[in-house]
Amino acid sequence: MTTETVRAEDGATVRVRFHRRPEDPSAPVLVCMPAMGTRAVSYTPLAEALVEAGFQVVLGELRGQGTSSVQVRRGVRYGYHEMVAYDYPALFRAVAAGFPGAPRLLLGHSLGGQLGTLYLSQEPHMAAGAVLVGAPSCHYRGWPFPRNLGMLAGFRFAAAFAALYGYFPGRRLGVLGNDSAQVLRDMATQVRTGRYAVPSSPVDFEPWLAELDLPVLAVAIEGDAMAPPGGVRGLCDKLTSARVTYAELVLPEGALGGPHYGWIRDNAALVERVRTFVDRA
C-alpha cells in the first residue's frame, strides 16, 4: 500500500491510499469513496479483502474528512459542488495515471456513492461501471412512514442548526460526523425535493443521471435504516439509461457497526457480489 497526495483544481488536497497488485497491474481498480462523516481509513478491511479477491483498490476521502486539507470549522464552506466538480475529477485523474491500462470502477458508500454517481454523469468515460452500497436518493419518500417525516424534519432542522452554528458538529451530537453547513443544506434540499438540483451547484444533475450509460450494481443491506431499499431504488430509478443490477445483502447477526457500516468488515458476501458483477460487466 502506498499513499499519494491528490490536489483538486481549487487547491484542496487529500492523502489517498493506493492498494496495488504489482503481479497483476491490469486488474480492475475499485475507487472507494466513503459515507458522510466517515474517514477513508475505516475502509481498510474492505480494501484488504478486495485485494485478496484479485482487485486493486484506491481509498479516496471526502472533503473535510480524514486526510483532507479542508478542516471543518466556522467559516469553511463547501458543498456537493466542490466535491463533484473538483475532488472526484482530481481523484479519478490520479487513478487513471496511477493504473494505466486497468479498468476503473466507482465503489461508493452512501453519500460517497451519490456524489460519485453525480460525477460520473458528467464524465462517464472515467469509469467502466459503478458499485453503490447503501447509497440512496435521500428523498424522504424513500423511507417508510413515519420515519420519512422524521427524515424531512430532521434534515431541515440540521441544516438550519448548521447555518446558525457555522458548521454541523456531528461528532459532538453523535450523528453523521462534522461537516460543512453547505453540505447539510444541499442534503436537506435533496431530502425535501428528491432532485439532485442543490443550492451549491449550478448543475441540475437529473437529466445527466438519466443519460448515464454504465453498468451499475446497487446494493441495499437488510435492516439499514440509513439507506432502506426504497431509498436505494430511488437513486437507481434516476439511472434510466444504466444497466442496473439490484441486490440485497443480509449481514451476520451482530455485525460491528450495524447494517449501514457492518459490511465493511463482514464483507465476504459483498466481495463475492462485486466479483460476479465486475466479471459480467
Rg of the chain on CA atoms, in Å: 17
pLDDT surpasses 90 at 279: yes
Residue 255 confidence (pLDDT): 82
Dump pLDDT digits (tens) for 160-197. Answer: 999 999 999 999 888 888 999 999 999 999 999 999 99
Domains and CATH numbers, the chain: 2-138+204-280 (3.40.50.1820)
Average pLDDT value for the chain: 96
The whole-number average pLDDT for the span 248-259 is: 89
Dump pLDDT digits (tens) for 38-93. Answer: 999 999 999 999 999 999 999 999 999 999 999 999 999 999 999 999 999 999 99
Dump pLDDT digits (tens) for 146-155. Answer: 999 999 999 9
% the chain with pLDDT above 90: 94
pLDDT surpasses 90 at 253: no
Q: What is the pTM of this model?
A: 0.97
pLDDT surpasses 90 at 281: no
Please give the full DSSP string across the chain, using - where no structure is assigned. Answer: -EEEEEE-TTS-EEEEEEE--TT-TTS-EEEEEPPTT--GGGGHHHHHHHHHTT-EEEE---TTSTT-SPPP-TT----HHHIIIIIHHHHHHHHHHHSTTS-EEEEEETHHHHHHHHHHHH-GGG-SEEEEES-----GGGSPTTHHHHHHHHHHHHHHHHHHHSSEEHHHHTSS-EE-HHHHHHHHHHHHH-SS--TT-S---HHHHHH--SEEEEEEETT-TTS-HHHHHHHHTT-TTSEEEEEEE-PPTT-TTHHHHHTTTS-HHHHHHHHHHHHH-
The whole-number average pLDDT for the span 129-145 is: 97
pLDDT surpasses 90 at 156: yes
Dump pLDDT digits (tens) for 86-129. Answer: 999 999 999 999 999 999 999 999 999 999 999 999 999 999 99
Dump pLDDT digits (tens) for 201-239. Answer: 999 999 999 999 999 999 999 999 999 999 999 999 999
Residue 43 confidence (pLDDT): 98
Residue 177 confidence (pLDDT): 87
What is the distance in angstroms between the CA of the first residue and the CA of the last residue of the chain?
Answer: 26
